[in-house]
Amino acid sequence: MSPAAKASISRHFAQGAEVVDGGVHFRVWAPRLRKVSVVNHSTGDVYALLPEEHGYWSVMVPGMGSGARYQYRLDDDTEGLPDPASRSLPDGPHGVSEVVDPRDFTWNDLAWTGLSLKNEVIYEMHVGTFTSEATWSAASSKLPALKELGITVVEMMPVAEFPGRFGWGYDGVAWFAPSHLYGTPDDLRRFVDQAHGLGLGVILDVVYNHLGPDGNYLHRFSPYYLSDRPNDWGRSLNYDGEHSAAVRQLVVDNAVHWIDEYHLDGLRLDATQHILDDSSEHILAVLGRETRAAAGGRRLLLIAENERQESRLLHATDLGGMGLDAMWNDDFHHSAAVALTGRRQAYYGDYCGTANEWLATARHGFLFQGQRSAWQKHPRGHSARGLPAAAFVAFLENHDQIANSLWSARLWRQSSAGCQRAMTALLLLGPWTPLLFQGQEWNATTPFHFFADHHPELAKLVLSGRMEFMSQFPGCASEAARDLMPDPACDDTYASSKLCWEERATPQHRRTLQLHQDLLTIRREDPTIRAQAASGVALEVAALNSSCGLLRYFVDGGASESHAQDRLLIVNLGADLDIPSPSEPLLSHPQSSGHSSWRILWSSEDPRYGGYGCSEPESADTGWHIPGFAAVLLKALPVI
């Protein structure tokens, strides 16, 4: 790492409180108002802002500095309101704003160059449940464990200020202010700085499709922030209507703010199908261009969640795309979950969980690329041809999918141990970019419930909405099931979702942790697995039956040494399989002369992981014996 240095801020934003020489400059967008003033809570002084073009107001207040508390007053109203672009709300979204000078923090990561799409492993975490303390400081102490595991990127669920004592963060209302629940803005910077010091990137989940219903004061400043078009959470943001230029600027400034002032390495963009924009240049394309420019050569990772699987988000902007890097792949999760649990309720009904199906995600990325979805009753998805395999983020667990069950149970509780180990091997050795959800690496016993602390009236609406959403699963639609459903506003619902790090030391969980660590070591160090989907390595797949699939990594080249670098991953979610006459070409030996054999490089049945041991699957006398409910990774060894 280079010597420590003060933060270098690349730009000022259209709105907010900026520390400048001699004081603080305030600027806010409030069209249609007659007057705007700012109150210095330290002195009680009130300063009138002067009108600018396009509905902005501004004033320079001498003598103020970092740490000063302030609020805005609109027209003749004596009620103070927080700054829509406040960098800190130390008492929450209903309280006063605090001036923050990001240049006060001393960074140690100036040699950090960012992330690449290839060979990344993502770890999704919720700061409020990642540790019992629920702070960035406590989370920082766990970063070495993530590094040792083999993680390269930490993805934080949203941290923008939201109301209440706990929540997922998707109802944020003050985009520029990190939640006071988790610490100070500098605590977040310190978390990122320490991660970079360990070689870990940090990206942030951001929500630009809606605003939370409580603590949102934007409408008091302007009626133009929201459009009349509805989405799943209410009204969409105004990206393309009257006065939308200032709304677009606020979103872009916010994205840049996370990259510039917090040195974040990218963003995960929530539910982009609900970012409705018919402008000549979509807001996501603008956001991508501006954040990369703000990074100043540091490589960013911009990931979309998009239920419609609109692959154009990943195409280059000069080809009509949005220029993003990767997209979550729900298809892999849903197919794998059906294979592991056997349940096909609600949206899982579009999937059968067969080997052909989950192998197709390895070969093609998305399963639905325009075919009709029986669940949605209309075509779903778009062609993914030409996109790199690493552009698809695959997962067996994430915050949504764990919570979308009656008990918010982890997948290991719903599957056999052998099958879960085998599918974990597919996840961590496959060609995509794998994602783990916090605690998955040791089979955490804690659930991950949906929780949100709101005032009583809103809490009732949230609970009702949650029950309505969960009723799509027949098992959750009964009156008895509804009575058992955890109340999102209950303290115990939140507290029970916190990880118990101490359980990692117990034998059962230590074995699962070793499984994940060993697989990620192979992904990182085995030359063929590491180079999969790159030039010189070709991936082919085949199903031996409905439960057993093969992934063959072919290493190009004429020399026998290159052929010997081929790898064969066999994933069998069914019973033992005997093949006396192996007619499947992917089982053939790498060398054309046949003077070689397959040998186990890794097996999910290793007793260290809780397995029962595994013999070599290939025999010259009996053909192949593939163990049931297991995965094996094979390498080719020449016979001397």
**Cα–Cα distance between 95 and 279 in angstroms, integer?**
35
Q: Quick one: CA torsion of 223, 224, 226, 230, rounded to 10 degrees? A: 100
How many residues are there in the chain?
Answer: 640
**DSSP state letters, 500-552:** -GGGGGSHHHHHHHHHHHHHHHHHHH-HHHHTTTSTTEEEEEEESSSSEEEEE
What does the pLDDT average to over 124-140? 98
- pLDDT tens digit sequence for 464-507: 999 999 999 998 988 888 888 999 999 999 999 999 999 999 99
pLDDT of residue 475: 85
Confidence of residue 2 (pLDDT cuts 50, 70, 90): very low
Of the candidates 270, 290, 330, 605, the residue annotated as catalytic is 270
Q: At what angle do helices 244-262 and 283-295 cross, to 10 degrees?
A: 30
Q: Is 51 helix (H, G, I), strand (E, B) or coil?
A: strand
Query: CATH class for domain 533-638?
Result: mainly beta
Catalytic residue list contains 492: no
Least confident of 101-110, 261-270, 529-538, 602-611: 529-538
- Give the domain ranges of the chain: 5-107, 533-638
pLDDT of residue 209: 97
pLDDT for 446 beyond 50: yes
Which residues make beta-bridge pairs with 16? 27
Q: Are 168 and 487 contacting, i.e. CB atoms less than 8 angstroms apart?
A: no
**Cα–Cα distance between 400 and 490 in angstroms, integer?**
19
- pLDDT tens digit sequence for 496-546: 999 999 999 999 999 999 999 999 999 999 999 999 866 678 999 999 999
What does the pLDDT average to over 543-571? 85
- pLDDT tens digit sequence for 397-435: 999 999 998 889 999 999 999 999 999 999 999 999 999
Catalytic residue list contains 305: yes
Query: CATH class for domain 5-107?
Result: mainly beta
**DSSP state letters, 216-240:** --HHHH-TTSEEEEEETTEEEE-SS
CB contact set of 146 (below 8 Å; sequence gap of 6+): 123, 154, 200
Of the candidates 83, 193, 305, 397, the residue annotated as catalytic is 305
Do domains 5-107 and 533-638 share one topology? The answer is: yes
Q: Are 348 and 338 contacting, i.e. CB atoms less than 8 angstroms apart?
A: yes
Separation of first and last alpha carbons in the chain:
48
pLDDT for 640 beyond 70: no
pLDDT of residue 483: 87
Confidence of residue 4 (pLDDT cuts 50, 70, 90): low
Q: Which residue has the tokens 């579009």?
A: 350
Q: Where are the alpha helices (DSSP H) in 108-265?
A: 127-130, 136-140, 143-149, 185-197, 218-221, 244-262
Which residues make beta-bridge pairs with 234? 231
